[in-house]
Amino acid sequence: MGEPIPAGADAVVPLEDTSVVEYSIDGSEVIKVKIKRTPDYNENIRGIGSDVSKNSLVLQKGERIKHFSLGVLAMLGKTNILVYKRPSIGVISIGNNICEPKEKLAPGKIRDANRFTLINLLKNYRYKSNDCGIAKDNPDAIKQALEQSFTCNDVIIISSAMGELDMLKRVLVEDFQATINFCRIKMKPGKYTTFATLMYNETWKMVFGLTGYPSSCAIICIIFVIPALRFMEKSPYDGFVPISVPPNSFNIRSLPYNNDDCPEYRLVKVTRNLTGMTTAKEVPGVLSNLDKANGLLIIEPKKKYSSKDSNGDYLYSYNVILFHENYYQ
């Protein structure tokens, strides 16, 4: 592989198409070989630059380096390349009523599923994150947890209940002079999602405050956090596969009308031919729904639709975004 072609040769015959006729006296060298077939001109010869031609572009700026990309760079002798730093991520849960999964449940306590869901969800999108534990629901504990997390993380993802998110915002503003970029979103779920930025030890930090409901927490992480991480590393976001779904893809009556004035995102399972789309009963705290889903169905507000079918039902047109790690099941 990669040997130079002898002068005058214009084809290479595979070893399996030859047989040895004569060896040297000591048997260490082949003297004569029989060619079993006539090769074509230029057969099995790769010219200089046939893989990567001179002055060609190998990797786009901002393109993610994949396993095969490293092989191409090695082939070209490029052992040092300039890359964007991947953000370091810390994950925290806030609450007085949550405990570690290994702990025995006491009355009024629940095990912390959000932290482990987020850590492993990030791993699916090729991000390593740091487990920053559980913070109690009081300003001093939240401040201490943030200070510890800021020392080694660029992005902090926090799951907590709505009231705890309000306390988190106060701590961010009063103790860290953070800017609250937004704290309400016109969508379901995730209405109370918070996003803040601040300077800590002369380094920019980003903080995402997510709802404490497990499935909602994961959905918002996919919709907002993952694209933000891609943006931080100057990488185009290819995580969603958008598809349009005609109204007759499934029983419209199985879905409730969206009577609110904001879009609703529902977990769905989509088959390859788009005929087996189902939706689980949507309960924000039901984490098991995530295991059954491979995408999000976007249900626009009912007021956006004016036409009805013969039964008097609104004719919906749906859009779906599929999670990139498992398009179809």
pTM of the predicted model, to two decimals? Answer: 0.74
In terms of domains, do 120 and 220 share one?
A: yes
Residue 52's contacts (CB-CB under 8 Å, 6 or more residues apart) are: 58, 72, 75, 76
In terms of domains, do 133 and 211 share one?
A: yes
Asked, for residue 272, whether it belongs to a domain, the answer is yes
252-302 pLDDT tens trace: 445 555 667 788 887 777 776 655 555 545 555 566 667 777 778 777 776
Query: Total structural domains in the chain?
Result: 3
Q: Do the beta carbons of residue 260 and residue 303 sit within 8 Å?
A: no
Asked, for residue 315, whether it belongs to a domain, the answer is yes
The CATH number linked to 217 is 3.40.980.10
Task: Outline where 224-272 has alpha helix (H).
Answer: 226-232
In terms of domains, do 134 and 252 share one?
A: no
Per-residue confidence (pLDDT) for residue 53, from 0 to 100: 82
In terms of domains, do 135 and 265 share one?
A: no
Highest mean pLDDT among 9-18, 262-271, 276-285, 320-329: 9-18
In terms of domains, do 141 and 260 share one?
A: no
Q: Write down which residue in 211, 232, 253 finishes a domain.
A: 232
Per-residue confidence (pLDDT) for residue 326, from 0 to 100: 45
Q: Give the chain's mean pLDDT.
A: 82
Q: Write down which residue in 200, 232, 264 finishes a domain.
A: 232
In sequence order, what E strands does 8-126 have? 18-23, 30-35, 89-94, 98-99, 110-111
Alpha-carbon span 115 to 113, nearest angstrom: 6
Nearest to 287 by CA among 228, 211, 193, 208: 211
In terms of domains, do 226 and 245 share one?
A: no
Alpha-carbon span 238 to 38, nearest angstrom: 49
CB-hemisphere CA count at 13 Å for 130?
A: 16
Q: Is the pLDDT of residue 314 over 70?
A: no
In terms of domains, do 246 and 302 share one?
A: yes
Asked, for residue 80, whether it belongs to a domain, the answer is no
87-143 pLDDT tens trace: 999 999 999 989 988 888 888 888 998 999 999 989 988 899 999 999 999 999 999
Please give the single-letter amino acid code of residue 76.
L
In a 3-state reduction of DSSP, which class is residue 182?
strand
In terms of domains, do 287 and 226 share one?
A: no
In terms of domains, do 103 and 202 share one?
A: yes
Please give the single-letter amino acid code of residue 311.
N
Q: Where in the sequence is the domain holding 278, given as residue range(s)?
A: 240-323
Q: Write down which residue in 175, 199, 232 finishes a domain.
A: 232
